[in-house]
Structure formats: C-alpha cells, structure tokens
C-alpha cells in the first residue's frame, strides 16, 4: 500500500531520520514542524540536499494550532507524532508552555486523526518519564552505576504510572489520550514509551539528548556539568532501532493497535551517564575531560532501563545496535560534521 505519512516534528532529530528512511523507499511524506529547535532548519536542508525540494511537503505549523494540524491530517494514512516540548528542565521552568505543547498538542493531533475520515494509524512517541521515580522499586548501588535490585529485565509496561515533573505529566496525558482514542473511536493507535534515543542528526544540548551532548561537548571542547553522582543508569537506543519499531508497528498494526510498548535499549544496552560514559569518551578523544559538578535535577531517576520483551514477543522487535557500536558511530558522525556545531 502506498501510504501518505504525516510526521509532526519531522524536522527534528528522530523525525528527520525517519523522513529520510521513508523517502529512500520512495514514500510520500509531509513534514509538520514549527522549526523552533535549533537543528530543525539544518535537518530540512539536509533532506533537501539528499532528495531535492519536491520530494516531500513541508508545513510550518505548531501542533497547538488545532485548525492547522486538522487540515494537515486530512490526507494522512499514517501519523507519526513526534512534535512537542522535550526537556524535563524546561518543563519545570515553563510548565504552561510544556502542557500546551505536549498535552494540548497531542490532543489536537488525535482530533485531527479522528476528524480526517481516513482512520489513520497514529504512532505516538511517549516517554519512560510516565513511570516517575519508581519509588517502590528497590535499587542497588555498584561502583560505577545504580541498578534495579529485582527487576532483572527492567521496567515493564505493567509498572504503575506515576507522572513526575511537568514533562512527565504532559507527555503522560498524551500517552493516555492516544491509548484511549483506540478504545473510544477505534483509531489504530500505538504508544511507544521511549528511553534515551541517540544517533546522527541529534543536536543535543545540556537539557536534552545527553549522549549526543556529551560527545559534542567533548569534541568541541565545551564545558560539561554532571548533575547528581554521574552513576545514573539509562538504557540507550539507537535511532535506527527505534525506526525499525515504527515500521513494524505499521506493518503489524492488527497486533499493535491500541497497545503500549516500552522501547529502549533494554538491560543489554545500559550505561551510566558519566561514571561509565566519561572514561569511554576520554578514550575516544585521547584526552582527560574536566567536568563541573551540580546537584541532582528534579525528576532525574537514578535508574531507568526498560523491559522490552513485549515488543519482541508481539512485534518481533529488539535492538540490534549495541552501546559500543552505536556510540562509536555517533562519535564519528560528530567528528565528521564539526561545522554543524
């Protein structure tokens, strides 16, 4: 089937990578993006260089604009909703903007899907932050990392929701709306609760995209601040593996519709943010890295890694790019593209 894709946030890190993949296949794509992120214009230029101006459509718009997103959604067979406010720290500083971008923005996207008359597949990029601090889960401290004491496979989808931070609340609101629109309106929706996604075209900053940010800062000689003890553990997932999951959700929508899946590197692809990543980076650049230290930031979990067995069992998906390979690839991309930073 020759599907028409609408990618909200399509000029962002994940969005531009997925648009690139779809266009390589000869797909029909409309990007919907307000171009507010610093890397968005650069990603658009990259896509135009790769495929030409006429290979895809661009609508410069905000998901908070209900009329505009409704109009954009009319012809879509698949909507991949990636747009929104992306940083916990920013949400704490400006919770209203975060709520409007993520909660109201997602509601507008769901209404656009419902009113389109085409019953489009909707894939929503949710977040592991919907699980909050997981205070009921016992932790164990090791020399270079924290880990779960009993959750050997990581956090499952059955872990109680505990929206923490304005960002967790706004993304969690969207998460539940997308899930419920499958129940109430029979829309084929899929919620992916994503862990730390990394890869090329990620213009990471201190508040968001930490894997890319640390690599960019190390390569460009920029100051790095480590918040907390640096032993916080995350499962990291390469963007190529994430896009494989998007493809499988569309391909297997009869299985996936109305479902929620954790998508992360899982227990095999974990790394502590500095106690383990720092030495790795120092090897890459062959130099010691001086860092400043700061207090724990609000909403910063000591540990998160996802149990991804549901996605493996139901969709046949699992990460293929391990930490070593993925981080090396991103480091090489940053080295080769210093002019972008």
In the 8-state DSSP scheme, what is residue 155?
A: B
Task: Report yes or no: 98 and 170 within 8 Å, Cβ to Cβ.
Answer: yes
Non-local (6+) Cβ contacts of 283 within 8 A are none
3 state SS of 271: strand
Instruction: State the pairing for strand pair 224-227/189-194.
Output: unpaired
Residue 186: CB atoms within 10 Å: 12
Taking the C-alpha atoms of residue 329 and residue 334, their distance in angstroms, rounded to an integer, is: 9
Q: Which residue has the tokens 């080295």?
A: 335
Task: Note down pLDDT in tens along the chain; length 341 residues.
Answer: 589 999 999 999 999 999 999 999 999 999 999 999 888 999 999 999 999 999 999 999 999 999 999 999 999 999 999 999 998 889 999 999 999 999 999 999 999 999 999 999 999 999 999 999 899 999 999 999 999 999 999 999 999 999 989 999 999 999 999 999 999 999 999 999 999 999 999 998 888 899 999 999 999 999 999 999 999 999 999 999 999 999 999 999 999 999 999 999 999 999 999 999 999 999 999 999 999 999 998 778 899 999 999 999 999 999 999 999 999 999 999 999 999 88
Q: How far apart are CA 339 and CA 329, in angstroms?
A: 17
Collect all residues with Cβ–Cβ distance below 8 Å to 331 and sequence separation of at least 6: 215, 219, 281, 284
E-state strands within 26-85: 28-33, 57-60, 78-81
9: left (phi over 0), alpha (psi -120 to 50) or beta: left
> β-pairing, 233-238 with 270-272?
antiparallel
Q: 């507008």: which residue's tokens?
A: 108
Nearest alpha-carbon partner for 39 in 216, 214, 283, 183: 216
DSSP type of residue 225: E
Task: Look at the chain and report how many structural domains it folds into.
Answer: 1
Mention every residue, 6+ apart, whose C-beta is less than 8 A from residue 189.
Answer: 110, 113, 121, 122, 123, 124, 178, 179, 181, 182, 257, 258
Residue 170 sits at the vertex; the CA angle it makes with 135 and 119, to the nearest 5 degrees, is 120
What pLDDT score was predicted for residue 6?
98
CATH code of 154's domain:
3.40.50.720
Residue 1: per-residue pLDDT: 54
**What residues are labeled active site?**
167
Instruction: Record the pTM.
Output: 0.96
Which string of DSSP letters, residue by residue, matches 302-339?
Answer: SEE-B--HHHHHHH-----S-HHHHHHHHHHHHHHTGG
Q: Beta strand pairing status for 28-33 and 121-127? A: unpaired
Domain residues for 78? 4-340
């Amino acid at each position: 089937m020759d599907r028409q894709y609408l990618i909200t946030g399509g000029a962002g890190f994940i969005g531009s990578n997925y648009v690139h993949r779809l266009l390589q296949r000869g797909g029909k794509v409309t990007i919907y993006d307000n171009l507010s992120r610093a890397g968005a214009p650069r990603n658009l230029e990259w896509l135009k260089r790769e495929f030409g101006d006429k290979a895809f459509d661009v609508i410069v718009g905000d998901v908070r604009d209900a009329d505009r997103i409704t109009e954009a959604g009319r012809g879509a067979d698949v909507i991949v909703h990636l747009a929104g406010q992306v940083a916990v720290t920013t949400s704490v500083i400006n919770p209203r903007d975060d709520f409007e971008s993520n909660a109201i923005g997602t509601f507008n996207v769901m209404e656009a899907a419902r009113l389109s008359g085409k019953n489009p597949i909707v894939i929503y990029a949710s977040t592991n932050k919907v699980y909050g601090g997981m205070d009921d889960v016992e932790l164990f401290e090791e020399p270079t990392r924290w880990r779960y004491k009993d959750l050997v496979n990581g956090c499952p989808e059955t872990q109680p929701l505990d929206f923490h931070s304005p960002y967790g609340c706004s993304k969690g609101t969207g998460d539940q709306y997308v899930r419920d629109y499958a129940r109430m309106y029979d829309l084929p929706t899929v919620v992916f609760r994503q862990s730390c996604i990394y890869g090329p075209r990620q213009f990471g900053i201190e508040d968001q995209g930490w894997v890319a940010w640390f690599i960019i800062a190390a390569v460009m000689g920029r100051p790095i601040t480590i918040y907390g003890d640096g032993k916080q553990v995350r499962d990291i997932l390469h963007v190529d593996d994430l896009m494989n999951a998007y493809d499988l959700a569309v391909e297997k929508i009869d299985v996936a519709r109305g479902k929620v899946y954790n998508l992360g590197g899982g227990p095999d692809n974990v790394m502590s943010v500095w106690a383990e990543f720092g030495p790795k980076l120092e090897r890459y650049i062959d130099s010691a890295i001086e860092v400043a230290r700061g207090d724990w930031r609000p909403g910063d979990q000591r540990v998160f890694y996802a149990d991804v067995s549901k996605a493996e069992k139901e969709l046949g998906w699992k990460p293929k790019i391990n930490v070593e390979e993925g981080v090396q690839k991103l480091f090489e991309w940053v080295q080769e593209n210093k002019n972008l930073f």
